[in-house]
Structure 1
Amino acid sequence: KRKKKAINNNSSCYDHEINALLETMPLARSVSSNDIPALESIIQSSLTTTSSKNIGHVQILTLEQTVGEAFTGGRSTPVFEIKCQVTTKAGIVKERLFIVKLIFMPTTAKEGGVDSSLCQKRESYAVERRFYEFIAPELRRVLAIPKLLASDHNGSQALPIACWLMTSLRVLYPSHPHVLDANSHMLYALNWLAQFHAYSWKTTTTSDWRKHLWERGGFWNKKKKNDDGKLKSSWLNTCKWLSKNHPTYVTANTKSLATRLSALSEALSDFMLTQSKSSWSTMIHGDYKAANLFFKHRQEGNDINDDDERAAAAAIDFQYTGAGVPAEDVSYLLFPDAYINYWDEENSLLQYYYSTLMDCLMMSNKGGPSSLPWKA
């Protein structure tokens, strides 16, 4: 009974905290209550602030919440998609798409202390918000990334509500495949990634970008509850699936992989943390997979040239962006789970990434094949 009463008290305190916080968050309040006039005013004000055009009027045509798409065994975070008719003071009318990311997170309080995994989740959204404010503006000169238009508070605090308004990538990058084609999507994704990694290549451990992001980037580098137990049970289910669909892949070594990884995890984590602070480290996306990538449509019968290829992909979701080793992003893109892999194309895709990275580094005088040979 005492435990139940404590849980109810925590819930009551949390509800009060959320309601009080919403009163100080006009964007979150207008979206959650479907207050269209207030939301139109916020969008108009943000466009006036962030654009050189004089905005005369904003009319919301639709406001819809996505259900979250199923990718690689999970589901992406639902967002609000807003279609607007924007009229400038010169009378030019244009339809625009915007995204509002609004997340309500549970209380971090639990019996006997604080839930560290929920604290980590709150911080992940604060990291993403800081990425959009402090890192993305310069990156957007060469890479397709959403533009931050407005957010409640300064957006950089780890609060139980996170909310911000961004441009949508879907107009210019409408293609959002679940599986990436090795001869097109994968090349465009690796091209984006090489440019992203080259941006922070050879920066020091005191570089400004590091203070805004995770000290150790990557979704899989964040401690999850009962990681070891989940790893073993998940891998057991994966082996069952492999036995049914690809029995030649299942051996005694395959089955024992989870146990061996569990034994190595702490030492490997320490090693990679050291590497993330070395001269080989750079900024990594941290969750670079199909669910977070959008592409331009390829016209039938037309090849995409080098310039088009550099701008054919766009990326979202920077919750786990931080310091790391570039190979982490590349390996996760190629092998996001046991159901998608590029074994047959692995070597050619790695060579493509390497050559693109070398081009980017040479263009910015940060190195090249002589200092970073392929076989090294």
Structure 2
Amino acid sequence: MLSPTQLIAQTFALDSTQVSAPLPLQTLWSGYGQIERYHLHSSDPKVPDSLIAKRIEPPTRRSHPRGWNSNLGHQRKLHSYEVESHWYGEWSKELPDSPRTAHCYARHTVDNSHLLLLEDLDAAGYPQRRQQLAASECEPCLHWLAQLHGHFLQYRPASGWQKQLWSSGTYWHLQTRPDEWQQMAEGPLKQLAPAIDQELNSSDYTTLVHGDAKVANFCFSADGSRVAAVDFQYIGAGCGMKDVAYFMGSCLSEDACESQWENLLDSYFSALHAVIRKRQLPFPTGDLELQWRNLFPMAWADFERFLMGWEPEHHKLTHFSRQMTRTALATLQHKGI
């Protein structure tokens, strides 16, 4: 396996002395690797001044912050890094300038170890990270999601169209989280979890969802008007509402969710319609919006299902979240499910 310095030197035809020592930025979840910044010293204008190396090296001894150390979880993480490598190597190249992601300079894989050399988004004009937002600050992220979803939008696609990515995006997808489902207390949400998943997959329209679209995975411009996104381990097919619901829950207070969720959906769908018009897609936007808007409570309930098994005392399990879940369950009951 090449080291980051070796791959950088190879990619940009540099001597190793032209590559600085790494600046550690982050340890990956459960100790599966590191994210580091490297500075490059070259007079060639095609060589960036800095870049980010995402280095995945699965640990020999696994440790999860909340004690979830199953082999299934290990295999899920390994596949997630494989998916992310394919995203940067093949799929992201299809995107226009918006939605903004990091350019991938090179990738290197040996067995379950991966190394990605990515554009430094701080240097590209996205230096800010946020943990919370006011509702008025959500538009750039919602528009980014609309651009992603609009670009990859499909109408009743053939099975397997999302090759090399997750067949169902998001890190909390029911089929990949049987242990957490087993830990749930008995009740309607646990019983109807498969029906919720089926409803989310029933729409005529599907796309690629980011799969972990929390506000912490967006990089903001200094004035907050533009964003780029990172962390594509769980990108895959799905209803766009999964990303939108998860994003809102990641950054807004409960009061803001309760008072602004419909307005924020309006902003998202306005941006999505604009993408569809720009791409001249033959999709009836009214039908798309009706189907997806009706699935918003299902998407919220789907994530609540995961939390109820993973950490039932989680702070995101709010009154608003329970209200959305009750709406989803009532819809299923009305359908006779």
Report the residue type matching 1:167 in the other structure. E
Note the residue ranges of structure 2 that are not aligned, 5 or more in a row.
63-69, 295-337
Aligned pairs (5 A) from 1:156-305: 159-171=111-123, 172-184=125-137, 186-202=138-154, 205-206=157-158, 210-221=162-173, 223-224=176-177, 226-228=179-181, 231=184, 259-272=187-200, 274-275=201-202, 278-298=203-223
Match of residue 61 from structure 1: 20
**Could you say if the C-alpha distance between residues 269 and 372 of structure 1 is closer, same or farther in structure 2, counting changes exceeding 3 Å?**
closer
1:328 aligns with 2:242: yes
- 1:41 maps to 9
Sort the Cα spacing of 1:209 and 1:146 in 2 relative to 1 into closer, same or farther, 3 A: farther
Q: Distance in 1 between matches of 2:284 and 2:277?
A: 5
Structure 2 counterpart of 1:315, which letter? A
CA change 1:208–1:147 in 2 (3 A) is farther
Which stretch shifts more, 79-88 or 190-199? 79-88
Q: Please list the CA deviations of residues 314-354 of structure 1 after superposition, one character each: whole Å capped at 9, or x if unmatched.
A: 00111111110011111001113896662222121111001
Alpha-carbon distance change, 85 to 281 in structure 1, aligned in 2, over 3 angstroms: same
Counterpart position of 1:357: 272
Residue 271 of structure 1: CA displacement? 3.7
Instruction: Tell me the C-alpha RMSD between the 2 structures.
Output: 3.5
User: 1: distance between equivalents of 2:105 and 2:47?
Assistant: 18
Aligned-partner residue type, residue 258 of structure 2: W
Checking the alignment, whether the CA contact within 8 Å between 2:9 and 2:15 is kept in structure 1 is: no
Aligned counterparts of 1:93 and 1:123: Cα–Cα separation in 2? 33
Cα distance between partner residues in 2 of 1:372 and 1:262: 28
Cα 1:332–1:130 change in 2 (3 A) is: same
Query: Aligned partners of 1:224 and 1:326: how far apart in 2?
Result: 20
Name the larger-Rg structure: 1
Offset, 1:120: 1.9
1:105 pairs with 2:58: yes
Q: CA offsets, 1:27-65, max 9 Å, x none?
A: xxx24xxxx5x35523424xxxxxxxxx89982234112
Distance 1:373 1:147 in 2: 31
Q: Normalising by the residue count of structure 1, what TM-score does the alignment of the two structures yield? A: 0.65
- TM-score, with length taken from structure 2: 0.72
- Aligned-partner Cα distance in 2 for 1:337–1:177: 8
Call closer, same or farther: CA 1:369–1:338 in 2, change over 3 Å.
closer
Alpha-carbon distance in structure 2 between the residues aligned to 1:161 and 1:119: 13
2:72 matches 1:116: yes
> In the TM superposition, what whole-angstrom CA distance separates every residue of 1:184-233 from its partner, at most 9, and x where no partner exists?
2x10000101010001113553488511211111111052363036555x
> Please, which runs of 5 or more residues in structure 1 have no aligned partner?
1-24, 46-54, 233-257, 300-308
Which residue, out of 25, 43, 64, partners 1:87? 43
The residue identity in structure 2 corresponding to 1:354 is: F
Match of 2:297 in 1: none
The alignment-based identity, stated in percent, is: 24
Quick check: 1:342 aligned with 2:257?
A: yes
Any idea what SS the aligned residue of 1:344 has? helix
Per-residue deviation, residues 167-190 of structure 1 (Å, max 9, x unmatched): 111121011011123212x10000
2:57 and 2:280 map into 1 onto residues whose CA distance is 44
